[in-house]
Amino acid sequence: MKRYVSKLALVAASLGVAASATAQLPDPGMTIDPDRTAIVVTDPQNDFLSPDGVTWGVVGESVKENNTVENIETLFREAKASGLPVFVSPHYYYPTDHGWQFGGALEQLMHSIGMFDRKNALSLSEFEGSGADWLERYKPFIEDGQTIVSSPHKVYGPETNDLVLQLRKRGIDKVILAGMSANLCTESHLRELLEQGFEVAVVTDATAAAKVEEGLGYEAALVNFRFMANATWTTAEAVEQIRETK
């Protein structure tokens, strides 16, 4: 370990980089072009955001601390008022998905507790009010006939759904990203969108994450958002940016 640290110090010195370089990360920023920018919200669903949801026991504190439910609603409202397109990337599991033979820790947990479960891919039977359903207060924004709801992602990122296709087909290459949960689906969407050549601004208080004995998922995500995203905004900052485009 000492040898590794020494090598890092030598490399840093040769590049003229101080040991505290991580505190001096540049802030690339992102400007909103109304013709090329969309809001993407991951998993605005009951199982994450309702006190009746199956994960509320571990995410509820973070959701309340960040005012996440209200902040996501603010983004929906501002997007609709400004004419920015809105995309939702949901998380659904159908009965056949429970036949998977392996998975990571959280995948196995989600399957075991019935998170995001739907009865059928071709039916909305028992969907209304279920854990997979939208939070009730979001329905006027999501079900207005204008919001684009992608096919479901199955693990964390959009590699398994058609979100990128839907964005590309509308000429979108800038994304304002929010939703649940910070260090899982939201961060995974950030990573894949960046790899696909999008500019991404993450709204850091329009997300939240689980608190478990291993640590705080939200704090882990904040570090990675700062390292990777083109911009990190609060909801208030995002609203200011959106209103400037009018």
- Report pLDDT digits (tens) over 220-240: 999 999 999 999 999 999 999
Q: What is the DSSP letter of 50?
A: S
Burial class (CB in 10 A: 0-12, 13-18, 19+), 169: exposed
Q: How far is CA 11 from CA 21, 23, 26, 216, 227, in A?
A: 12, 18, 19, 32, 20
Query: Tens of pLDDT along 58-107?
Result: 999 999 999 999 999 999 999 999 999 999 999 987 788 778 787 777 67
19 compared with 46, residue with greater pLDDT: 46
Is residue 117 predicted with pLDDT exceeding 90?
no
Please give the mean pLDDT across all residues of the chain: 89
Q: How far apart are CA 150 and CA 165, in angstroms?
A: 9
Helix or strand or coil: residue 49? helix
pTM over cut 0.85: yes
Can you tell me the mean pLDDT for 179-184?
97
- Domain ranges within the chain, ordered by starting residue: 30-243
Q: Decide which of 1.10.3720.10, 3.40.50.850, 3.90.1150.10, 2.40.10.10 is the CATH code for 30-243.
A: 3.40.50.850
pLDDT of residue 8: 37
- Number of other CB atoms surrounding residue 24 within 10 Å: 8
184-215 residue pLDDT tens: 999 999 999 999 999 999 999 999 999 998 99
* pLDDT exceeds 70 at position 11: no
Q: Cβ(100)–Cβ(111) under 8 Å?
A: yes
